[in-house]
Structure 1
Amino acid sequence: MTFDLYGFGPALAAGTLMTIKLALSALSLGLVLGLLGALAKTSPYKPLRWLGGSYSTLVRGVPELLWVFLIYFGTVGLMHAIGEMLGRPNLELSAFAAGTIALGICFGSYATEVFRGAILAIPKGHREAGLALGMSKARIFWRLILPQMWRIALPGLGNLFMILMKDTALVSVIGLEEIMRRSQIAVTSSKEPFLFYMVAAFIYLGLTILAMIGMYFLEKRASRGFIRSAA
């Protein structure tokens, strides 16, 4: 085993950075979609509840890999049409953008249920207290509901993010040069599959540990007021 990884060390480092960028981008999109989905599912309006339920059911019922393919290849015609309108006939969705959208949609569908459960766990008396104080519904949501929902949802969201971090490997099938794609290229060149796949495994493990540490501090910070009041 060589310590310079046959010269592929910098390539694997670049792949790791790409994985982190993809995971954080998909996380940002997924949190927005998950929050909107949860608000729709807990809405008093039936069409919104139907829309939120359809989103979470449809997306969770299809494997993430298929969503990557559907987003990447399914937008070819649409992007070409937009490109012709803009005078750029070769316009296409990049592998990074397709991966972000696909993984963000999938993360959001699961986050919808996490946020929904967190919203339902908040006592109705808190909303009634806000109304009694003359607060608007928007202010009640931002000042009373959202902070408590965030605290309750954090453990579930942390688990989903760790799954998302590993699901970024799926985007290698459409050519994005993240950890797995870089490892596959290194294996093809060096004929050392065990070495490079083991290195990839340790990289994913390291990223997961860092994510766990980050979630620990986020949960600790979000629970500060709750812990003081409980004491």
Structure 2
Amino acid sequence: MAEEYLHLMGRGALLSLRVMLTSLAVALVLGFINGVIKLFGPRWLRAISWSYTTIVRGIPELVVMLLMFFGGEMVLNMLLNMLGIGALRFNSFISGVLALGFVFGAYFTETFRGAFQNVDKGQLEAAAAFGMSTGQMCRRILAPQMLAFAIPGINNNWLGLMKASALVSLLGLEDMVWLAEQTGRATHKPFLFYLIVSLIFLSITACSGWFFRYLSRRYAFYGAGG
């Protein structure tokens, strides 16, 4: 019996990890695009980006998640109907991922914006004077240095996203938190299963810390202005 419950927890942990990583991908893309818009976009787009980051960072993740779960599908289907496309159905996984990605995209926006601003503009001007194309400057100078400055913020936001991913259990997604609640009730041992969940989160945190320390060392040269 215990082995069966532990197998279920393992399945739930893998699902939770999928939620975290997929949400991270959404947040990184959204944050990068909005960071670029905030710095280089036209005024009307910068206003939209500013409103997005200001409003979203002021609303709890759970509230945004519930709004997207109950209202996101309705709004999207209204737009699809206007385009003559059939309706879509959101499940708890999609709602959770989109909500987490949407919320933390606002935090990543500020991370990338600050990282871009820390890059020495003199190096870009020197590269242009040497005849580098825009693509070469972005690939060889701007991107590596921007990433070096962004790594600490990405790490912090990832840890926040990882912990917030536990909220998807409230949408009925059978992740490890949801399974810990169910198995705890069935066995009358909730402390044991919540302890297992805590240890899994701590393991992910430890692995993440090692990975980001490696990235920091890897890009330290660029962050020093090399």
TM-score, structure 1 length as denominator?
0.87
Structure 2: how far apart are the matches of 1:144 and 1:48?
26
Contact 2:145-2:222 within 8 A present in 1 as well: no
Deviation (angstroms), 1:80:
5.8
> Which one of the candidate residues 177, 181, 205 is aligned to 1:180?
177
1:193 and 2:190 correspond: yes
Structure 2: how far apart are the matches of 1:150 and 1:139?
16
Partner of 1:210: 207
Specify the SS of the correspondent of 2:40.
coil
Closer/same/farther in 2, CA of residues 175 and 150 from structure 1, 3 Å limit: same
**Residue-pair matches, total:** 223
Closer/same/farther in 2, CA of residues 210 and 181 from structure 1, 3 Å limit: same
Deviation (angstroms), 1:131:
2.1
Structure 1: how far apart are the matches of 2:148 and 2:225?
14
> Which one of the candidate residues 3, 7, 23 is aligned to 2:4?
7
1:221 and 2:218 correspond: yes
> Which one of the candidate residues 69, 74, 97 is aligned to 2:94?
97
> Which one of the candidate residues 73, 76, 95 is aligned to 2:70?
73
Deviation (angstroms), 1:44:
6.0
What is the root-mean-square deviation in Å for CA atoms of aligned residues?
A: 2.3
- Structure 2 residues not aligned, in runs of 5+: none
Specify the SS of the correspondent of 2:195.
helix
Contact 1:64-1:103 within 8 A present in 2 as well: yes
- Structure 1 residues not aligned, in runs of 5+: none
CA displacement, residues 91-139 of structure 1 (integer Å, 9 cap, x when unaligned): 4111111111111111111011111111111111022112212334344
Structure 1: how far apart are the matches of 2:104 and 2:18?
15
> Which one of the candidate residues 112, 134, 141 is aligned to 2:131?
134
> Which one of the candidate residues 2, 27, 32 is aligned to 1:30?
27
Structure 1: how far apart are the matches of 2:145 and 2:76?
41
TM-score, structure 2 length as denominator?
0.89
State percent identity of aligned pairs.
34
